[in-house]
Structures are given as structure tokens and as C-alpha cells.
Amino acid sequence: MKFDILTLFPEMFEPIKQSIIGRAIKSNKLEINLINIRDFSKDKHKHVDDTPYGGGAGMLIKPDVVYDAYKSLDYKSAKVIYLSPQGKTLNQKMVESLSKEEHLILLCGHYEGIDQRVLDEIVDEEISIGDYVLTGGELPAMVLLESVSRYVNGVLANDSVKDESFSNGLLEYPQYTKPEVFKNIPVPNILLSGHHSNIDKWRRKQSLKNTLEKRPDLLEKVNLTEEDKKILRELKIKG
């Protein structure tokens, strides 16, 4: 999978090229290209922004500079994503769906934003990472890059993806390792029993309990079996 990232701050992306993502780049499962929008400036002082028509604070990135940076890419079969506070909030469904794309172009804004005309011309999808204010789209682009890359075949050991929070719509069950007793607290007995179908049942119940206590909103969207519903009724009665 290929990511082209259009940004005024390509250096911000250095750390993410390490670790799991770094390994996936080396084994050619991921290709990440950083494009400095400033390289497409039209003047000798390398300006990329200007004051907004109609007045107001701050500066806007000029449309022609962004357009030329975009046109320098092989954009024909790519999906262009603009990281923006006005976008749809990223969730795991969107992450999984984006991981099926061959080529994403991520456009990061800074300052007060980007001239609307170039956005209307090139952007396919506008995505936010949550309702809080950042100074630019770079951290959101890294969040998207990291979350989507985990779903690209061969980037992660495969079964760590399917078991985790949000993939089945529920929170995870608690996990334990050695020692068997810590501060007088034993590991739940069932986990030492070797009875795998009982362990699976116990874990499902713990997932439901965790979700009911911490994120009850998730229970509305998830597909529950009749057995799940029965367990939830009992958990609600016990309180």
C-alpha cells in the first residue's frame, strides 16, 4: 500500500518510520512518500500562504501551490484524504475500509486552513480524529497511517488484529501473566483450568461486563447473540 503525504512539515513524520511501520517499509509492504508543499511555492521567498479574502485572522495555504504538489504525484487511481477538524470522525470501520485501498494521498493543513477551491477540486474524503483542536493535520495523518497500516497484509502478525477491541465491537477481556499470585491476588482460576471452551465463555462474559461498565454506548451498535443478551441481563441485575 502506498501513502503520499502532502505537508509543510515532513520532518514531523520521521518517528513513525520507525518500529512496526519501519519494518513494513523495509519489506515493501508499505511505501511512504513525504512531499513538502513548500517545494511547490512560486516565489523566491518560498511563501505558501496568504491573507484571507474578506478579512480575518491568520493565513491560508494558497490553492495553486497545493494543486501543483498534488499534480506532481501519480494521482489517477488514488483516494485523496484531507485531514480536517470538519471531517467525519475516524473509527475502526473506516480504518478497515481504507486499508483496502492501494494508494492514499493524505493532505495536511496548517495555519487556518487551505483555500476551498483546491479542496473542492482534489479531495475525496475529509477525516477528523476527534473533537479537540490541534495545530495541523500532521498528527492526525500519522494516526490514520498507523491505524490503517496495521490492517495491511503482513504488517502485523495476523491474529493480533482480529481479537482486539473495536474489531468485534466490544472492549477486551482482562489478561494475566506470571506470577500466579501478585500482592495476594490470584489469577482467576478458570484461566489455569486448561478448559478452553470454558475459558472462551468466561472471556466473552468479561468483555460484555467491561463494555457495559465502561462503554455502554458500544453495546447499541454490536451484534449480540441470545446468550450474550442473557449474560447482559444477569450483569445488569447484579449491578
Among residues 43, 45, 55, 133, which is the contact residue for ligand 21W, using CB under 6 A? 133
84 binds ligand 21W (CB under 6 A): yes
Q: Which residue in 214, 131, 121 sits closest to 165, CA to CA? A: 214
Task: Read off the C-alpha cell for 64.
Answer: 495553486
Question: Cα(38)–Cα(10) distance, rounded to whole angstroms?
Answer: 10
Give the separation between CA 204 and CA 41, rounded to whole angstroms: 56
How many amino acids of this chain bind ligand 21W (CB under 6 A)? 16
What character string, x for contact with ligand 21W (CB under 6 A) and - otherwise, covers 98-117?
Answer: -----------x--xx----
As a whole number of angstroms, the distance between CA 49 and CA 111 comes to 9
CA atoms within 13 A on the CB side of 60: 16
Determine if 10 is a binding residue for ligand 21W (CB under 6 A).
no
> Which one of residues 134, 161, 199, 218 is an interface residue with ligand 21W (CB under 6 A)?
134
Which CB, 62 or 209, lies closer to ligand 21W?
Answer: 62
Residue (136 or 169) nearer to ligand 21W, CB = 136
Q: Does residue number 54 form part of the binding site for ligand 21W (CB under 6 A)?
A: no
Q: Which stretch binds ligand 21W (CB under 6 A): 78-86, 98-106, 156-164, 187-195?
A: 78-86
- Window of 39-47, 129-137, 173-181, 192-200 that interacts with ligand 21W by CB under 6 A: 129-137
* Cα four-point dihedral sign 200, 172, 238, 216: negative
Q: Is 137 in the site for ligand 21W (CB under 6 A)?
A: yes
Is 83 a binder of ligand 21W (CB under 6 A)? Answer: yes
All 3 cell numbers of residue 14? Answer: 520521521
Q: What b/e sequence results for 196-221 when a residue is b if at least 16 CB atoms lie within 10 Å of its CB, and e otherwise?
A: eeebeebbbbbbbbbbbeeeeebbee
CB of 84: closest distance to ligand 21W in angstroms? 5
Contact region for ligand 21W (CB under 6 A) — 37-45, 92-100, 132-140, 225-233?
132-140
Residue-wise burial string across 103-142, b where 16 or more C-beta atoms lie within 10 A, e elsewhere: bbbbbbbbeebbbeebbeebbeebbbbeeeeeebbbebbb
Q: C-beta of 54: minimal distance to ligand 21W in Å?
A: 10
Residues 155, 30 contacting (CB under 8 angstroms): yes
Which residues sit at the interface with ligand 21W, rule CB under 6 A?
A: 83-85, 109, 112-113, 128-130, 132-137, 140
